[in-house]
Structures are given as C-alpha cells and as structure tokens.
Structure 1
Amino acid sequence: MAAKTQGSSEVPPDDLSRKLALGKVESLPHIGLVGDTYTVTVTGEDTAGRFCVIDMHVPPGGGPPPHRHDFEETFILLEGELEATFRGEKITVKAGETVTIPANAPHRFHNVSSQAVRMICICSPAGQEKFFLEVGVPVATRTTAPPKPSEAEQAALMKKAEELAPRYRTEFLREA
C-alpha cells in the first residue's frame, strides 16, 4: 500500500453492492412533456442519488415554462441552438456549448429556432427524472412528439405538475 502524503485522503473502498448501469436505447423511458421528448438515460437509482441524465429533444417552440429548483442543472447542447433565460437575462446557447444553472436560480430554455435541439441534461442530485416520469406521457422514441393536448388536458397537466412540483423541489414562475 502506498504511503499517505500530507493533505491527501484515502479513497473509500469500492461499493460492491452497486452495479454497472447500461441504458440501452430500446429499454429507456421516453417521456412527452411540454411538447418536448425527454429520454431518461441514467436514473438516481443508477448513481445512488448523486445525479441523473436526461437526453432532451426540444422541437421549435419547445421548452418548459419559467421555473426554479433546489438542484444543479447542466445542459450540454449537441444539436441546434436555444434561448436560455437566467435570472431574467436571455442568452443564446449553441451546439457544442454547455450551460450550468445554479440551484434555486430562476431560469427557462426555449427553442426559438426552426430546427430541433438535442441536449443532454444532468441534474444533481437526482430526482428530476422522477418528476418527468410522473407528469409526462410515454412516447415511442427519443424524437417522437408527445400528443397535442386539448385545452382541458393542458390545464389538467399543468394542475398536476403544479401539485407535484413541491415534492420534487420545483417551483413554477411567471418570469425567469
């Protein structure tokens, strides 16, 4: 065993109860929500609650309403560009760029372009994927658009999301 150096700490032993997580496309949950399609690729169960990963397909005009939550959120844009609003200031985020939203900060993202956006979202700690699974509707693939809800269905969906939001440490806002 190597000698400990001043200021270093030992790495804990391997937790043999944790298994390798492999998300196969054919078995991942695809969720339609706010006109977007979110695919949960890594769950909190896979990471002992440390983080979750969501592959997001955001069509033109898509994106959630202004909101905030008490966990960190990082978006890595793979394709397209979108408008991100952070504490009321709008910026354009393009493919190849990464944006990290601090916990509790008001924000939103909106696809104002004519092309779909694909991005990876990492939430830390995990939990957001459970909110999406509980509020959204299952869809067939990563790019399948969710069914267009009627006005009454949209109102019911928003009511459900607002009722569940506190359980998932999320708050919907009027302005981001």
Structure 2
Amino acid sequence: MTDSVIPPDDPTRALVHARPDDPALPHVAVAGNTYTILVAGEQTAGRYCLIDMRVPPGGGPPPHRHDFEEMFTVLDGAVEFTFRGERTVARAGETVNIPANAPHFFRNSSGEPAHMLCMCTPAGQDEFFQRVGDRVDGPTTPAPKLDEAQQKQRGERAGRLASEYRTEMLTP
C-alpha cells in the first residue's frame, strides 16, 4: 500500500444535487437582477458557490472588484462584460472568467432577458447577495421596482457590507 498525497474522504460532506426548481433554494433580487443560490459556500466548505442569474434588459451590477475569481457561463441571451475598461459580449454557450482583483461589471445591453451561471471561488458572494438583496418568490420573479430612496438604501447597504465580503464598489 502506498501513501496517498490526497487527504482521506470527509464523510461529513454530502453530495449536493441542485435542482433549479427546488422551492427551498433562496431567490434574491440584486441590482435589478434575480439570483438563485444553487450551491452555497456552506455546502462546499467555502471552496466555491454557484449562482443562477436572470438579468433583464438593462440589468447588471455597478462597477466593482473583489479578491476572488468569478466565472460566468451565458445560457440564454447576451451579456456585455466590461473588464478593465474593455468591453466584450458573451452569448449563449460562452464563458467569461474574471480574475481576482480586476475591475469589472456586466450589463444586459440587449432587448431580451439573459440567463447565466456564475461560479465564485472561494465562496462568499452567495452570502453577500443574500444580505444586500431582497428575497423574491422564484427564479423568474422580477426584481421589485424600487423608488429612489429604496435604491439609495440598497446601495448604501451594499457599500457597508462590501469590505466584509472582500469586495470594493467602484465609482463609474
């Protein structure tokens, strides 16, 4: 028998089988988008999280950066990513990886809804979204219409929590 360089199996960790229609999954409206946490960091020992993102026309977060990797796979539609000031459009079937610490944001600049998956490694973004967003009923539930005061309040909350989640909000 040889000594393995791989640690032993951890039987306390369970298989995660994410079903997007599972009513127990958290659905959160953030920055005009609807996000579903498919796999949370607590299920992966903090290694990563997987977020299903529904982005309406014109939707997307403000410019920001963080110290973790973020990978997006567009499932439907097209999303414009701005990475270090350069724009690129990702369409259905395409994947974009944002390296840690790089300034970026995305916008659905098409007239149709977009759908994508986002993996963050290590995890944490899933918790951030749940703390700054508004709970909604399901993955296709539109984000609530917020008045100017509510939008300002959400932005201030995100700004206060950003550093706790290794994120820096950037001015446009």
The TM tier, using the shorter chain, reads over 0.9
Tell me the equivalent position of 1:117: 114
Paired-residue identity, %: 55
Opposite residue 19 of structure 1, the aligned amino acid is A
The aligned amino acid for 2:151 is Q
Alignment of 1:90-109 (within 5 A): 90-109=87-106
For the residue of structure 2 that corresponds to 1:27, the secondary structure is coil
Q: Which sits farther off after the overlay, 140-149 or 65-74?
A: 140-149
Q: 1:22 deviation in Å?
A: 2.8
Matched, 1:19 2:17: no
Pairwise CA distance, 1:11:
2.1
Cα deviation for residue 20 of structure 1 reads 1.5
Normalising by structure 2, what TM-score?
A: 0.95
Greater gyration radius: 1
CA distance in 2 between counterparts of 1:172 and 1:56 reads: 20
Q: Which residue of 2 aligns with 1:134?
A: 131
- Structure 1 segments, 4+ long, off by >6 Å, are none
Distance (whole Å) between structure 2 residues aligned to residue 146 and residue 76 of structure 1: 21
Give structure 1 stretches of 5+ with no counterpart: none
Match of 1:10 among 5, 23, 28: 5
Q: Is 1:158 equivalent to 2:151 in the alignment?
A: no
CA RMSD in angstroms, aligned pairs only:
1.2
Q: Which runs of 5+ in 2 are unaligned?
A: none
Q: How many residues align?
A: 170
Task: Give 2:10's aligned amino acid.
Answer: D
With normalisation by structure 1, the TM-score equals 0.93
Distance (Å, rounded) in 1 between the aligned partners of 2:61 and 2:28:
14
Alpha-carbon distance in structure 1 between the residues aligned to 2:116 and 2:127:
19
- AA matched with 1:158: G
d(CA) in 2 for partners of 1:44, 1:100: 19
1:26 Cα deviation from its structure 2 partner: 1.4
